[in-house]
Structure 1
């Protein structure tokens, strides 16, 4: 195995960039497709767009589980890879894929049982709320069949990142997303399926992507049989990431529920802002992906000093990425909301959250980059505790105060800001402590 250049040398920066750029394409492809989908549905009217916001919020649970699979798999695979154990590293990806299949099957069953009550609870009362809930339920019952494939794709990305291969995931995800971005408007408009066409296009994208990642595993020549002892170890690691992700989901679902209480225009504008935020967040996560692969490999190879040097470098690169995205979003502020909805009330509501969105991006760049450092190091218990704390003392109190005092979207996005700032302070403290850097093929 070729030993990477030290992180403090010019080659270290080149290596980070070489891993981050293909990861950026992968991370951006899915939210770009969702943004296209949001724009397509947004031109059907505010009710379908609000329904997509609620249904998409529920489906984001699958995305959360997928991130847990990808991040948990990357850290374990990277340590094996750094220790020179490639076959064992890929075998971790096989077991992560079995977890994906099981998790997707459970999600299908739960959504088919509870889609109606769930969407009605989130949409609120009144005739408009009932209309939004019914449309969201129809979308959700179809879209959930893509969940197993989505999780397979995330597990596949995880093990490939762990062996420092970010190019193949780029080609796979791009192929699926571009095809479905073409399919969605065709199904929604000329075919005339409306919102249901959006759900079908989602399932097609995820099925293509998941199948291609399974094929990539098969050509590695490792056994595809489940090894339940490895699955149990992955579940143990995933437990902390699940709790961490659960804190995120509770925050974002609460935000959507509160936005729904302010009317369809507010919920539609929140959907636009949130999807743009997710796009920026996932794009910024490209640095975090590089961090997971490099930090895991460096600690797996026993080089603690190099890992700490890489971590500091990655934090600064994350800040630079965040500033860059803030400038881009600021330039696009006058016209971006109009791309997603022609409704003037939606545009007025979007203008409320826009300054929060722009101001958060540089801070988020550092936060997401350091998330990757600590996940790559396997420091997931700290990540769990820090995220739960940020949710309990930052996001959720402001969200529910917003509801109580009728503060609108500004209050919701102030809660998101508090959530990010609390995480930033905790991550910087942990980075300085150095206690996260533990060497070895396993942690």
Structure 2
């Protein structure tokens, strides 16, 4: 929902040309400013009211107030009200923010490190499956590769958006619960209750219900449509890969429901800032899969079907462990499923599906353009891309930490902490990207040698070193910014910007690659990540971002300073400014809390 906030702020002004100042203030598209005169005497009577009290101002606030008193209405300097509050570039603030290995940095790493290990567990499990299936035969190995590609495509398109949305929504609701428990007035928040010592969160129940329905739908589609999907993948009926590929995909489809439910549960734990529980559950499931693979494939003689059955059983174990742990903290009831939240999930999920589709199309096009260069260039390209994607898991975990922490602090209107989360996550992301870049430059030869012994393939792979290693700082910051989008539920911009970035990058690949070959593919992927980063930094630095409230903080001043201004010469004329901010997706309780928080004093002197 969109909630309009009208904040009446008493100000002093000495000028007569109000139109120029009105034009200056209205340059912010999210703020509507109007002036209303009232008698100075009546204004002084109100100086003792509680609404004029505000928290002690920060040093930056004092500087901003001094700058405002020095500027006139007609001066469009960098010290004007607009530039001091709304249009301060994000990069300048990021540069001025000192990096400290403080408790916040430890909190980020405490969330990111277990998440990175959990994200790395799935590729490792896939490698184990590949190793066992490879001992059956090359045909079975190729069939598993095709079927796994189809399954993973469906999973990324439908399941990953649910995971990201659940993380943000649960973190928001959990933060509101924490505030409600501390509030002596016990403000009633719809959808938050206690049931026999367990929390009743409508966001969790809604997510799990949607996950169950989505998982069943995926299972039916993959099982019944396996033949059609093989046709789409270019595997004809007479191919030797057709039968084993259909068999593997049909059996693998029964694992779709537990996968989606497990992802929803993982999103819930991430919203709780608990990434260790998903790590333990994933490790247990993958260990069981490694034990069952040889038993079912070779000892029981099930072949490729045994590999699929072992994977499905391990997925049910992961889902069971997560739900069992979650049941100790959350009470699940159908009555807690909120229709409004269902609509919000579906809307946000649709946006992220579009975003995911734009990413997949761009990466698939890059692979297609590389394949047209020949077998050897394609093999070298595949080595580089696999290393590139594997390294991205580390920065994905960092983005997850930023998302969970920002969602909580932003929901609580703790805007100073929200700023620090943004700065610290970006700083750690940049340091991580530079470190990974150095590691890859030094050790890329050893990494690439693990994938092939062909000298020509390795030569092509080494030619992509500048892309794989050099793009790591850009990749890290781009992934972190994505997490910050999700932390404030800015899913709309995340989707629309990605579609535009993907379109530009795809056109570049289509035009440049035929002329320059594989370097054109590398440059196209680098352009793709660079545009993602630019779009993200621009969004964080513009006044239309949802963290607009953070940029208004420097205008606050305490009641003592304001009292001293009341003794000003008679030429001071008080005015009242109404700032109206449209906040998408905020509840009425959040809007009221924001209004109360911003009933403070500001003044302007020409």
Q: Same fold (TM over 0.5)?
A: yes
CA drift of 1:358 comes to 2.5
Greater percentage in helix: 1
Of 110, 114, 124, the residue aligned with 1:32 is: 124
The correspondence for 2:170, drawn from 77, 96, 99, is 77
More displaced, 189-198 or 282-291?
189-198
How far does the alpha carbon of each residue in 1:282-318 deviate from its partner, in whole angstroms, 9 at most, with x for none? 2211111111111001111101232122112111111
- The alpha-carbon distance between structure 1 residues 123 and 256, as it changes in their structure 2 partners (threshold 3 A), is farther
Contact 2:410/2:418 (8 A) holds in 1: yes
Which shifted more, 337-346 or 57-66? Answer: 337-346
Deviations 1:322-359 (A, max 9, x none): 23333444444334345456677765665555543233
Tell me how far 1:156 sits from its aligned partner.
0.8
Per the alignment, residue 436 of structure 1 pairs with 546
Q: 2:517 aligns with which of 396, 407, 410?
A: 407
Structural mapping, 1:344-423, within 5 Å: 350-351=461-462, 353-394=464-505, 396-400=506-510, 407=517, 411-423=520-532
- Residues 235-384 of structure 1 aligned to structure 2 (within 5 Å): 235-255=346-366, 273-340=384-451, 350-351=461-462, 353-384=464-495
Change over 3 Å in CA distance of 1:415–1:334 after alignment to 2: same
Per-residue deviation, residues 90-127 of structure 1 (Å, max 9, x unmatched): 43122111111211222222223433343344348999
Match of 2:150 in 1: 58
Matched residue, 1:144: 253
* 8 A Cα contact 1:38 1:272, kept in partner: no
**Which structure carries more strand by proportion?**
2
Select the residue among 105, 120, 139 that pairs with 1:13. 105
Is the Cα contact below 8 Å between 1:49 and 1:268 reproduced in 2? no
**Cα distance in structure 2, aligned partners of 1:220 and 1:118:** 41
Question: What are the equivalent positions in structure 2 for 1:190-229 lying under 5 Å apart?
Answer: 195-225=304-334, 227=337, 229=339
Structure 2 counterparts to residues 75-224 of structure 1, below 5 A: 75-84=168-177, 90-123=201-234, 130-131=239-240, 136-184=245-293, 195-224=304-333
Q: For residues 97 and 412 of structure 1, do their structure 2 counterparts lie closer, same or farther at Cα, with a shift above 3 Å needed?
A: farther
Deviation at 1:420?
1.0
Per-residue deviation, 1:253: 4.0
Distance in structure 2 (CA, Å) of the matches to 1:126 and 1:196: 19
Contact 2:230 2:236 in 1 (8 A): no
Q: Structure 1 residues 332, 8: closer, same or farther in 2, change over 3 A?
A: closer
TM-score scaled by length of structure 2? 0.63
Shift, 1:257, TM fit: 5.1
Q: Give the structure 2 partner of residue 231 of structure 1.
A: 342
Write the distance in 2 (CA, Å) between the matches of 1:411 and 1:112: 39
> Please, which runs of 5 or more residues in structure 2 have no aligned partner?
1-98, 179-191, 194-198, 550-585, 592-606
Deviation at 1:13, TM superposition (A): 1.3
- Greater displacement, 293-302 / 240-249: 240-249
**CA contact under 8 A between 1:374 and 1:436: conserved in structure 2?**
no
Q: What is the distance in 1 between the residues matched to 2:211 and 2:529?
A: 29
1:368 deviates by 0.9
Aligned mates of 2:246, 2:349 — CA distance in 1? 29
Partner of 2:59: none
**Structure with higher RCO (Cα < 8 A, 6+ apart):** 2
Segments of structure 1 that go 5 or more residues without pairing to the other structure are: 1-6
Asked if the contact 1:78/1:89 (under 8 Å) is kept, the reply is no
Check conservation: 1:183, 1:201, Cα contact below 8 A.
yes
Q: How far 1:256 moved relative to its partner?
A: 5.0
The answer to whether the 8 Å contact 2:175/2:411 transfers is: yes
367-376 vs 83-92, greater mean Cα deviation:
83-92
Q: Supply the RMSD in Å over aligned alpha carbons.
A: 3.6
Q: Which residue of 1 aligns with 2:48?
A: none
Structure 1 residues 329 and 8 mapped into 2: Cα distance closer, same or farther (>3 Å)? closer
Deviation at residue 411 of structure 1 after TM alignment: 4.6
